[in-house]
Structure 1
Amino acid sequence: MFSPRIAFLDVDGTLIDAGEVIAPSTIDAVRTARQNGHLVYLSTGRAAVEIYPAIRDIGFDGAISAGGGFAEVGDELVIARTMPEEAVARMVGFYEESGYDFYLQSLTHLYPSPGVRARFATYLQQDRERRGDDRTDLHSVADLDEHPALKAFANVRPLSYSGIAKSVFLAGDLMAYDRVSEALSSEFHVITGTIPHMGTGSGEVTLSGVNKGSTILQLLDHLGIDAAAAIGIGDSSNDIEMLQVCGVGIAMGNATADIKAHADEITTAVLDDGVWNAFRRHGLI
């Protein structure tokens, strides 16, 4: 008897690498799994507006975005877990007093502080230099003329305190995570950042209890699917709860040792057919 599965895929470090290229086998794995009757969802810390068209065009059944802040089935928003406006104001006030760059994520907009675009330009250049152009079999998911993140972060609009699900802070201060955690963790879920090169100089903040894992459980309940049928695949600190709640939690080969310790098994790295091998092992393809 055919038993369909549902897979949740992180984006950065799982679907694509830090240089925002994707292995052709990953595209084939997603499309083949869906053709075979399984569901495949994105589960990302990115806001919905940061999921580039080239990623969406691969074809998914829906997406969890903003680290669990929102969940969509197809194009329908079914879960929104946003912060009270006064909580956003307190969080932003702390960032501004500390001199940290940051951006806020709503469903439809990003709200960056003025220094965010320059920081991302530096990260992208470092990624290009580190990656080189040795592999010609990979596909880029970003516009090579102007990177989508740079376009988004160039728009420094007045901040909105309503409809915000997550913030990301960026600082040269390697104590930033400790300071943000101390100041905000009584009300918020604070984790170290998932941006390359930043380490404890960056982090992600959602409302307490809001993470990919808890939103996956809400979405599964909405869909009428048991968590035992779910597969979660990720590589970073914001994937831990996802790996824990899914029937099978799979860490990428490029994940840190801490993330691997929370997984049931480990697949190969992001550009070494990691998603394909995981799907193959569990019979989705």
Structure 2
Amino acid sequence: MGVRLIATDVDGTLVRSDHRTISPRNRVAFAAARQAGIDVLAISGRQPYSIGAIVAGSPLEGFVVGSNGAVAVDLANRHVLFEELLDVDAQRTLAHAMLAEFPEARVVSVRSAGNEYVAQHGYVGEQDPGAENALWPVSHRFADLDDVLAEPSLKLVVKHPDPTVAPEQMLEVARGLAVPGTHPTTSGAPFLEVGRAGVSKASALARFAADRGIDPADVVTFGDNLNDVEMLRWAGLGVAMGNAVAGAKEAADEVTLHHEADGVAVVIERLLGL
């Protein structure tokens, strides 16, 4: 295949288990890809401020896609390239239905291109893995549920305080509810993530690639979780990590090594003949 774009998930894929470190081998591999004229892109369930802190000073610094494909930002000037928002009526319907099933759960609305978090009173824990890493300041506040749901969200987070209630369990319920206008998924973080229907990492990549005249057949994607499934299927070569969940492996064209074993670099080196 003629590779023109390489897009990688972040947690469980690009970075090590500390959720912040890009290994030297992965850095060298992406630098070689860029030198070969290939576009590279970090795409994550995280928000741009958080992705930016990780890729700063690396070959992946530039445009990033966050919130599972709902927002894209140019890190050089913080310019928002696009946002895809979850409609208020849809998120209210989904949130109230989920809270009826899981009364102890709490909801967070992610807004303003990922720079504002409005959390329901009683929410415990970080909304974003590694949220202490921020390339620029972000806003966090607590509010009543009506306030949390009053404005469209880039992403709606639903978290249960009991760790025995897995996000995948909530995902099954959310999918069963089939609320129009919503797209629930999980990323390996300890909560359910809900975006706008039709929005995924694949939809963001399709837009990014089309703007550059890149055919999906010339795109390589790397991922490890359910929020990566669409882009693994969409790309000419979808690669799941050795540590990936079963759904991601089933969606991929091949499975590489564990993210701690530089599985991303291994494939890039092969494709570049290094």
Identify the TM-score tier after normalising by the shorter chain: 0.7 to 0.9
Pair 281,177 (structure 1): closer, same or farther in 2 beyond 3 Å: same
Partner of 1:254: 243
Structure 1: 5+ residue runs without aligned partners?
125-141
Partner of 2:116: 109
1:92-149 deviation digits (Å, cap 9, x = unpaired) = 4445553312322231322233444x4349x98xxxxxxxxxxxxxxxxx6xxx9348
Matched residue type, 1:248: L
Deviation at 1:241, TM superposition (A): 0.5
Q: Is the 8 A contact 2:116 2:140 kept in 1?
A: no
Matched residue type, 2:83: A
1:238-257 deviation digits (Å, cap 9, x = unpaired) = 00000011111001111123
Q: Residues 73-92 of structure 1 correspond to what in structure 2 (within 5 A)?
A: 75-92=78-95
Q: Is the 8 A contact 2:219 2:237 kept in 1?
A: yes
Tell me the matched-pair count: 255
SS in 1 for 2:272: coil
Q: Is the 8 A contact 1:112 1:153 kept in 2?
A: no
* 2: CA distance, partners of 1:193 / 1:169: 13
1:157-212 deviation digits (Å, cap 9, x = unpaired) = 663744522122211234433333333543311224521xx4xxx32111111111
Partner of 2:185: 191
Q: Residues 154-173 of structure 1 correspond to what in structure 2 (within 5 A)?
A: 155-156=141-142, 159=148, 161-171=150-160, 172=162, 173=165
Partner of 1:64: 65
Pair 214,52 (structure 1): closer, same or farther in 2 beyond 3 Å: closer
Matched residue type, 1:179: V
Q: Residues 1-12 of structure 1 correspond to what in structure 2 (within 5 A)?
A: 5-12=4-11
TM-score (norm 2): 0.80
Q: Is the 8 A contact 2:15 2:259 kept in 1?
A: yes
Matched residue type, 1:207: R
Moved over 6 A (4+): none
Matched residue type, 2:108: Y
Q: Is the 8 A contact 1:184 1:190 kept in 2?
A: no
* 1: CA distance, partners of 2:90 / 2:273: 42
RMSD over equivalenced CA pairs, Å = 3.0
2:132 aligned to 147, 150, 163, which one?
Answer: 147
TM-score (norm 1): 0.77
Partner of 1:268: 257
1:14 to 2:16 alignment: no
Q: After superposing the two structures, state which structure 1 stretch, 234-243 or 175-184, moved more.
A: 175-184
* 1: CA distance, partners of 2:194 / 2:26: 29
* 2: CA distance, partners of 1:67 / 1:191: 9
Structure 2: 5+ residue runs without aligned partners?
none
Deviation at 1:7, TM superposition (A): 0.6
